[in-house]
Amino acid sequence: MTVKLFVGSTEVASVSSNGSGIWTANTSALTDGIRIIRAQAVDLGGRSSAASNAINFIIDTVAPVVSSVSASTVDGTYGSGSVINPTVTFSETVTHTVAPALTLETGTSDAVATYSSGSGSATYTFAFTVANGHSSADLDYVGTGSLSGTVRDAAGNTAVLTLAAPGAANSLGSNRNIVIDGVIGTVTTVSSDLANGIYPATTVVDIKVNFTRAMTVTGTPVLALNTSPAKSASYLSGSGSSTLIFRYTIATGDTAADLNYAATGSLTAGTIKDSAGNDANRTLPGTATSNSLGGSKNIEVAGNTQTPSLSVNVSATNAYVGTAITPINVNNSTGNDNTNDGRAITYVCVYDETVNGTMDSGGTPC
């Protein structure tokens, strides 16, 4: 028996059935689209049966293509730890047998966004987490071949995964304005505007910690110092800039031969972040390096010294630290003494000839 197939009134195939009445037909006459097919049997005597009930077919030989790449993540700047969700839209509904992935241009180390959801629809969603070091002024994929995996439509056609050129229409960079800033700010130098010298109790020491980028401070970070006893400088100002100021006031009894922070990990407490929300790398330059406080300055903390105490009719022009000096012999115009911590004090003896030998700072040398 012969079986003929018709689309409308047009015969598109004619095949013979086997002894069980089973038949198979192959034809290239059908083009893509919805097609209504009917079958009609013809016996050896040439007699034809009535046409069968109609069967609807969808003919699909066209492979899916990528129509656009975008992101469900809103435009903005994103720092380390942020999750970004790129999306890939196909020309039709698709599924996959090998999960797709999208390679993104994120600086020296490219990120790979992995499949998250969307199988059974025309739009796939991907995800990646911004890592330290990732950077992009306008996030895009690496190139036209950055989408991998095996994706097919319902007819089994394998999708063409070629993307628009980066920055071109329908690319991620064109559709979104996402800035990736995973670059971590670091400390470059620690110094002070205070002149080198020896400083007693009540002296205010402002210490400058310089970063590679502007930082925003919340709370009160502190900088542990190498003083004895151990003291710290507390955050004072500078939030929003690359230089943060910490203040330390020398207390009675504090000493340090060369003021410095205690260790490379001495910057603690509070939060220090850049504009993208990245936590600063607080590691300080080595304490023996030229970029450290001690390496860039020579500030001696002398909080254990005392103000000189002079006898009623003598004065010392250069003495500012130490214990009481020994009584000055008015017959000598100059002399030397020592403070309680061994520092030399030089004094000058003067008197006022017009006031019966009374000593004052406006007199003449003895």
* Residue 294 phi, psi (nearest 5): -65, -30
What per-residue confidence (pLDDT) applies to 251?
96
347 pLDDT higher than 80: no
Mark whether 109 and 166 lie in a shared domain: yes
Q: For the residues 255-281, what does the mean pLDDT come to?
A: 96
151 pLDDT higher than 50: yes
Instruction: Report the mean per-residue pLDDT for the chain.
Output: 86
SS3 325: coil
Mark whether 211 and 293 lie in a shared domain: yes
Q: Which of 158-167, 271-280, 346-355 has the lowest mean pLDDT?
A: 346-355
Mark whether 52 and 75 lie in a shared domain: no
> At 52, which CATH number?
2.60.40
Q: Which residues contact 271 (CB under 8 A, 6 or more apart)?
A: 217, 218, 219, 221, 279
* Residue 63 phi, psi (nearest 5): -75, 140
* Residue 187 phi, psi (nearest 5): -85, 130
Mark whether 108 and 203 lie in a shared domain: no
**Residue 216 burial class via C-beta count within 10 angstroms: exposed 0-12, middle 13-18, buried 19 and up:** middle
Mark whether 251 and 334 lie in a shared domain: no
> Angle CA(216)–CA(218)–CA(136) in degrees, nearest 5?
35
Mark whether 12 and 84 lie in a shared domain: no
Mark whether 177 and 213 lie in a shared domain: no
Which of 181, 214, 248 is the last residue before a domain boundary? Answer: 181
47 pLDDT tier (thresholds 50, 70, 90): confident
Q: Domain of 283?
A: 187-302
Distance CA 217, CA 271 (A): 6
Give the single-character DSSP code of 281.
B
112 pLDDT tier (thresholds 50, 70, 90): very high
Give the single-character DSSP code of 46.
-
Q: Secondary structure of the chain: what % helix, strand, coil (to 5)?
A: 5, 45, 50
Distance CA 190, CA 96 (A): 55
What per-residue confidence (pLDDT) applies to 348?
53
Distance CA 241, CA 225 (A): 23
Mark whether 273 and 318 lie in a shared domain: no
Q: Which residues contact 20 (CB under 8 A, 6 or more apart)?
A: none
Mark whether 269 and 362 lie in a shared domain: no
Mark whether 292 and 279 lie in a shared domain: yes
> Angle CA(86)–CA(88)–CA(62) in degrees, nearest 5?
170
Long-range contacts of residues 25-28, Cβ cutoff 8 Å, at least 24 apart: none
What per-residue confidence (pLDDT) applies to 322?
41
Distance CA 126, CA 139 (A): 14
281 pLDDT tier (thresholds 50, 70, 90): very high
* Residue 132 phi, psi (nearest 5): -55, 130
Q: Which of 195-204, 228-237, 243-252, 304-313 has the lowest mean pLDDT?
A: 304-313
Quick: pLDDT tens for 318-337.
333 444 444 443 333 444 45
Which of 129, 162, 181 is the last residue before a domain boundary? Answer: 181
Token pair of 7 as six digits: 């689309």
Mark whether 265 and 357 lie in a shared domain: no
Total domain count for the chain?
Answer: 4
DSSP-assigned states of every residue in 327-346: PP-TT-SEEEEE-TTS-EEE
Mark whether 193 and 276 lie in a shared domain: yes
357 pLDDT higher than 50: no
Which of 150, 181, 212 is the last residue before a domain boundary? Answer: 181
Does the predicted model carry a pTM greater than 0.75? Answer: no
